Structure 1
Amino acid sequence: MREDPAGMPWELLEGSVTGVGKAHSQDSRTVRPAADGRALVLAVADGHGAKAHFRSDLGARWAVEEFAQCAEGFAQEAVELGDDVAKWPILRAHVRSLPQQFVHRWRERALLHESNAPSDGATSARSLKELEKGLPVYGSTLVGAVVTARLLACWQLGDGDIVLLDGTGKADAPLFTGPDIGDETDSICQREAWRAVRTHWLPFTGGGPPRGVLLSTDGLSKSFAERSGFLQFAEEVGAMVAEQGTAHVRSRLTDWLAQAARHSGDDTTLVGAFAVPVPSAPPPRHTHITGDMGGLTA
């Protein structure tokens, strides 16, 4: 548990499983304190995999690392300025500029790796234009968030999900734009990738933070036949945290993700943060987590 000196502790949740039949996972994740524990940085990334993106496990790891480095700077600023409404435009501008920062850092890192170990096996020196042709092998999505006692900021590039649980436990996915067509998605490897990043800004003007913030790669949501089943899963995870505690949910998380991976066939990763104490939940409406994955036993 990480505690905010302003009075808001956090319970953390994270887990990942490799897709069925895969030698290793292309996903990466982090959930870490920032600003001396007064903020949290969360991120997940999903490397594209397949032959055309055979180094995407590296790309996903770098996406998470470079995002987190930039997000920690924003988190510090958010903690320092978040109480002053007059300073919110400064923070909002930082939210908008952060994609260009972390995409640039990722690109520099990928280009350096490509120049030292060309993905096409070339042995002669290559121009920048030639190096850029190798970037798709590192392709990855990225979903990230920063949460403090005063505000939440989210960023999304490509598929994956950010789900917020309000005070009643109801789920909302503020950056969801509809299902992708086939396996196509925006990628951090594309030119000017920062232009494809979607952002969400939520100051807590009416009380405290959301009950829960959940980030996941698309291996989780795709395991459900309907979008509503995925959102119900998120709500039931939040309810179970409220009723039985994060430790109980944490002990079952790998099993749930493994079941999801069997349905989607994809690597499946989830990270989350829950504000504590959690408001009292209504009487349980269920005894197990349901949905079209076939039911996840509590």
Structure 2
Amino acid sequence: MKETCFGESVQGASHKKTGKECQDYYKKTVEKEYTILAVADGHGSNACPYSRTGAIAAVNIFHDVMGTYLEEYAGRLEQLATVLHREGEISFAKNIERSWKNRIKDIQVENSENRKKTPRNSSGAIDWAAVYKMYGCTLLGLVITKEFVFSYQMGDGDIMKVDEEVCPVVSGEHILGVETHSLSRKNAWEKAITDIKRNDIEEHLPRLYLLSTDGFSNSYANTKEFYKTCKDYYETFKEYGADAVRDNLKKWLSETSELGCGDDITLLVAYFE
């Protein structure tokens, strides 16, 4: 079985006009025993001036936390699967939130420019809730091992699986309007969604996993059109190979943003054949 993994982030068409930098970020780690994928989307509002930094911190935190679990349970993946099944939406989600907020504290204190703008309450103490909001972002994570596939979602975005069928790996909560859940909020872990399933990839080859920020799905008229696009990517992998997708991905995503919602788009894929 061969695995190919790559991604791309593009600045949204509407953001190009205003000069606003891309707020998305992604990271991948591919090892013999596991693959870790993470995608984050900074909120980008005036209230969140450092949200790209928050997104960068989020994907790194997911990799760090998941890497620690994988190291601790090396050679005992079945036991890790049991732990994540039992504690994914509590202990693991709390760990992600706590680690991200600790990282944001360090960034805020260490960056002299940011430090000048640190919000304070009426007594002069640092208002950490307001600080976290300045770095607010969503986070998607996927871990693929020989034993299991584990997914984590905080806020909007999509984690999709495509083989004979197209389906979400984890069903996120539908949120009306522009509001989304965020790592920056108090008790953010309560809104995290996790899922773990037995790895059945070898029974359904080829298979494609896609992690994308909401700018991707929001660029299509409805869920049916979005699912059709996911299937089109899968068929392109099958017919033309991974290099064809990799070489054209940035152009395709830019066109999707221009013809769609105009938001930043990040797409991270893992293809197994």
TM-score with structure 2 setting the length: 0.87
Q: How far apart, CA to CA, are the structure 2 residues paired with 1:215 and 1:187?
A: 17
Amino acid at match of 2:215: G
1:202-217 to 2 correspondences below 5 Å: 202-204=197-199, 207-208=202-203, 211-217=207-213
Report if aligned partners of 2:156, 2:172 keep a CA contact under 8 Å in 1. Answer: no
Amino acid at match of 1:40: T
1:99-178 to 2 correspondences below 5 Å: 99-116=93-110, 117-118=114-115, 120=117, 126-127=124-125, 130-166=127-163, 168=164, 170-177=165-172
* 2:43 alignment partner, SS class: coil
Specify the alignment match of 1:250 in structure 2: 246
Specify the alignment match of 2:228 in structure 1: 232
Q: How far apart, CA to CA, are the structure 2 residues paired with 1:11 and 1:184?
A: 34
Deviation string 1:142-161 (CA, Å, 9 cap, x unpaired) is: 00000012210000000000
Q: How far apart, CA to CA, are the structure 2 residues paired with 1:122 and 1:203?
A: 45
- How many pairs does the alignment contain? 262
Specify which structure has the higher proportion of helix: 2
Amino acid at match of 2:102: E
CA 177–252 in structure 1, closer or farther in 2 if over 3 Å, else same: same
Q: How far apart, CA to CA, are the structure 2 residues paired with 1:126 and 1:69?
A: 33
Alignment of 1:269 onto 2:266: yes
Out of 56, 75, 92, the position equivalent to 1:98 is 92
Q: How far apart, CA to CA, are the structure 2 residues paired with 1:271 and 1:24?
A: 19
Greater relative CO (CA pairs within 8 A, separation 6+)? 2
Q: Which runs of 5+ in 2 are unaligned?
A: none
Specify the alignment match of 1:282 in structure 2: none
* 2:249 alignment partner, SS class: helix
Out of 259, 278, 288, the position equivalent to 2:255 is 259
* 2:2 alignment partner, SS class: strand
CA 49–119 in structure 1, closer or farther in 2 if over 3 Å, else same: farther
CA 204–52 in structure 1, closer or farther in 2 if over 3 Å, else same: same
Specify the alignment match of 1:241 in structure 2: 237
Q: Which runs of 5+ in 1 are unaligned?
A: 1-7, 277-298
Report if aligned partners of 1:11, 1:275 keep a CA contact under 8 Å in 2. Answer: yes
Q: How far apart, CA to CA, are the structure 2 residues paired with 1:206 and 1:199?
A: 19
Deviation string 1:10-66 (CA, Å, 9 cap, x unpaired) is: 1113111001242311001011124xx221000100000021111100110000010
Measured after TM superposition, the shift of residue 175 of structure 1 is 2.3
Deviation string 1:139-195 (CA, Å, 9 cap, x unpaired) is: 0000000001221000000000000113x2x21013234542111000000011111
* 1:214 alignment partner, SS class: strand
